[in-house]
Amino acid sequence: MNRFTRLIPALVCLSLIAAVSAQDGPDSVLRGTKQFSKKVVTTGLAGPWEVTWGPDNMLWVTERTGKRVTRINPATGEKSVAITIEEVSAPGGQDGLLGMALHPELLKGTGNDYVYVAYTYIDKEKGADPDVADPASPYRYLYGKIVRLRYDAAKGTLSGPVDVITGLPAGDDHDGGRLKFGPKNKLFFTIGDQGHNQFANFCLPIEAQRLPTREEIAARNYAAYVGKSLRINLDGSIPADNPRLNGVVSHVFTYGHRNPQGLDIGANGVIYSAEHGPKTDDEINILTPGSNYGWPHVAGFKDDKAYQYVRWGDARKPPCSQRKYDDISIPPSIPRDRESDYRKPFVNPLATMFTVPTGFNFSDPACGGVDFICWPTVGLSSVEYYASKGTGVLGWGHVLLAATLKRGSLYVLPLTSDGKSAAGHFSRYFQSENRFRDTAISPDGRTIYIATDPGGVAGAKDAGTTSTMENPGSILAFTYTGEGAPEAEEQPRQVSGTKPRDGAPSPAPIVGGIAPQFTEAQAANGRTAYDATCAVCHGSTLKNGAYGTPLAGEYFKGKWSHRSVRALFDRVRTTMPPSQPGSLAAGTYTDIIAYILQVNGSKAGATPLKATGKGLDRMAIE
């Protein structure tokens, strides 16, 4: 029994819980009481990103870096590749083959045996992205598109690609990418803010509030679609009944989003979205036509709690280009706005995960340098509406299922009967050393299928961190078996005094090694290469990233001090970039290593660092 039920009548209690649970702290999360059995359906998937139950009773999966749509038998785990799309380009950690939507009439005998997929691709005819200055960057000509494919049931294959819409914004961060069929047979698609105003992109402005002009729409220039959800006709055209925003009707359905990776349609056509917050306030929203969701002026609710809109690109004396990004120790000269300074109308979230007071320690020493794992955010990667309908999980009449990356867990939010308000606190299920990417539900509602990332960084069961996934690149099945006894509230934050752990063992230290040798030019080139390929995961300071382990500071020294430079070179070359390890030139890897060494205190000299020979084996990291 919680504190409200001891004080007020039950009906009033229910309404207050609904109001409070929308904006709770991490310590409000309850341990789940439902009992499930676990089964590994299949493994070896190359970045499963979307998983959907198909009308053929198969699981349909997109593989982000594998460039494949794969059908999986949920009983046996047998995999069948429906198509490999060679046009997909996946240079980083958030691009590639992303969302997928099955036509509602697929295999219904109407001829509409279509599957729609969203992915990033190279489009040199469209021209270079003006936000990407480096001509050698793999993101220079990277854009997004939605393609229609026809399914041949006899062969089990997809073919005949037809472009629905092309030239959508894409970048090295915050690409969104979820695709769903919605009311009136329209496609709904999410695009993030491209990770502007942070890490390697910290001098670029966030344009989640910028709306497209008539001229842009006429020219099919979709640059203003960043930080938006889109509503699209099946032929790619603009629905006539789309909202008119700033006098213009476009594909834009809603705006003011950060990185909306979750999207689902619930009862009565309610459209749910889930998006990543900065350090606090991952959001679950209900999307309504033409609405503004506040980002970047507001994260979560307009409460002035633990968030200010720091405008790095507006910095002067010195300008942003001469500054170093640090989202913890922010210079007072950087312009910033409080949430309460924002005066335009916007829609509050259905719920946040999670809100903390101003003054919360986002760099607690107990986190051992992997600060983002300790943040209140959970890494919302998807959202799915669930209704038990009498055959599924008891008591889950109307709930949302939210898969998370950082926590390796499924969070369950109870809803009111109309699906428009929260009706209690989050419960947490299936805690693991995984990164949960997406969910699908069996027709009887008794089995929840979860796709897992092949790698990355997640919270460990001992409250540390791990980069070795428990079930990498897998589809897991959790089948409901009954009820259990209520358990105590759970604290899904870092436990003071614990140390992060990396599942990969540290190399053996070397004795009598020499100091690393590299040139200043290598370190300078390495910084450029690092910013282009590594900063989105490991952070612009090498220790402030939210997707990869730190490459500087306490964590790095604990793992790499007195180890050989060869061991570090081999680790970097075999794991980076995450979608295509080893794809960079050997000289680029040595440049990146030189930059990492310099940031960690090693001094440049006259002798260059070489990838060949025995020099790397004799050099010891300081």
Helix (H) or strand (E) holding 593: helix 586-599
CATH number for the domain that contains residue 135: 2.120.10.30
Q: Are residue 402 and residue 525 in the same domain, yes or no?
A: no
Cis preceding-peptide flag for 354 (omega within 30 of 0):
yes
CATH number for the domain that contains residue 577: 1.10.760.10
Residue 276 catalytic? no
Last residue of a domain, one of 483, 511, 546: 483
DSSP H helices, 99-173, are none
CA angle 98, 290, 165 (to 5 degrees): 35
> Is 138 a domain residue?
yes
Nearest Cα to Cα of residue 468 among 453, 484, 450, 489: 453
Structural domain range at position 526: 520-618
Q: Are residue 196 and residue 293 in the same domain, yes or no?
A: yes
Q: Are residue 195 and residue 246 in the same domain, yes or no?
A: yes
**Segments of the chain with pLDDT less than 70:** 1-21, 463, 486-506, 511
Q: Are residue 405 and residue 476 in the same domain, yes or no?
A: yes
> Is 33 a domain residue?
yes
Last residue of a domain, one of 483, 511, 545: 483
Question: CB under 8 Å to 111, separation ≥6 — which residues?
Answer: 105
Residue 218 pLDDT = 98
> Is 508 a domain residue?
no
Cα–Cα distance for residue pair 98/119, rounded to 1 Å: 5
Q: Are residue 465 and residue 528 in the same domain, yes or no?
A: no
What's the whole-model pTM score?
Answer: 0.91
DSSP assignment letter at 535 = H
Residue 493 pLDDT = 38
Residue 505 pLDDT = 61
> Is 415 a domain residue?
yes
Cα–Cα distance for residue pair 132/141, rounded to 1 Å: 9
Q: Are residue 538 and residue 456 in the same domain, yes or no?
A: no
> Is 17 a domain residue?
no
> Is 308 a domain residue?
yes
Per-residue HEC secondary structure of 190-216 comes to EECCCCCCCHHHCCCCCCCCCCCCHHH
Q: Are residue 182 and residue 64 in the same domain, yes or no?
A: yes
Write down the catalytic residue from 103, 174, 196, 538. 174
Q: Are residue 226 and residue 281 in the same domain, yes or no?
A: yes
Last residue of a domain, one of 430, 458, 483: 483
Q: Are residue 524 and residue 608 in the same domain, yes or no?
A: yes
Q: Are residue 538 and residue 399 in the same domain, yes or no?
A: no
Residue 589 pLDDT = 96
Cα–Cα distance for residue pair 541/295, rounded to 1 Å: 24
Q: Are residue 167 and residue 227 in the same domain, yes or no?
A: yes
Total domains in the chain come to 2
Residue 488 pLDDT = 41
CA angle 462, 467, 469 (to 5 degrees): 85
Nearest Cα to Cα of residue 526 among 581, 573, 596, 586: 596
> Is 502 a domain residue?
no
> Is 314 a domain residue?
yes
Q: Are residue 274 and residue 390 in the same domain, yes or no?
A: yes
